[in-house]
Amino acid sequence: MRRLSLCVYCGSRAGARPEYEVAATALGHAIAGAKMRLVYGAGDVGLMGAVARAAQSQGAETFGVIPTHLLDREVGKTDLTTFVVTETMHERKKVMFMNADAVVVLPGGAGSLDEFFEVLTWRQLGLHDKPIFLLNTEGYWAPLCALMDHVVSEGFADPSLLEFVQVVPDVEALMAALAT
């Protein structure tokens, strides 16, 4: 039986609240506990590093993808099960997505939003049917959810757009949703 691969998009910074790193660490442990493979951006900083270190500490398989220009900035984590270096950000995102069965987005900045909107757009266009989750730690994604509601109510997307994203409050709820 093939192991489920979970693509995690998240910040290369820890963020303003300690709860974000607590959730990232809990997710890494949960991935390992569920015998899943972590697919992520191969950095060893911020929430990215927290998820990976936690997953590794519990024996999870890790698949990291990083573009050459971010090796130093994001401290490329070369001790992963699989460590892929790409030429561009576009290639990084494609390799990560193609090697995952589902996507979860933790708190993060512009890069995480870019990754989220790309996979959401692909889903909206029918290019994939992989589950997409927002891990809404401390209500971090509430403004984004309100914006998506606004986009739909203003007629720029069908209501089905909202069905493509599952918002979960914590790692426990995420793991329960992934199990179904």
Question: What does the pLDDT read at residue 1?
Answer: 57
pLDDT tens-digit series, residues 32-64: 999 999 999 999 999 999 999 999 999 999 999
Please check the confidence at residue 2 and state whether its pLDDT lies above 80.
Answer: no
Average pLDDT over residues 60-87: 94
Please check the confidence at residue 180 and state whether its pLDDT lies above 90.
Answer: no
Average pLDDT over residues 71-92: 93
Is this model's pTM higher than 0.75 or not? yes
Average pLDDT over residues 74-99: 95
- CA quadruple 41, 11, 120, 165: dihedral sign: positive
Among 16-20, 68-72, 85-89, 104-108, where is mean pLDDT lowest?
68-72
Average pLDDT over residues 3-30: 97
CA 105, CA 107: separation in Å to the nearest integer?
Answer: 7
pLDDT tens-digit series, residues 114-173: 999 999 999 999 999 999 999 999 999 999 999 999 999 999 999 999 999 999 999 999
Domains of the chain: 5-179 (3.40.50.450)
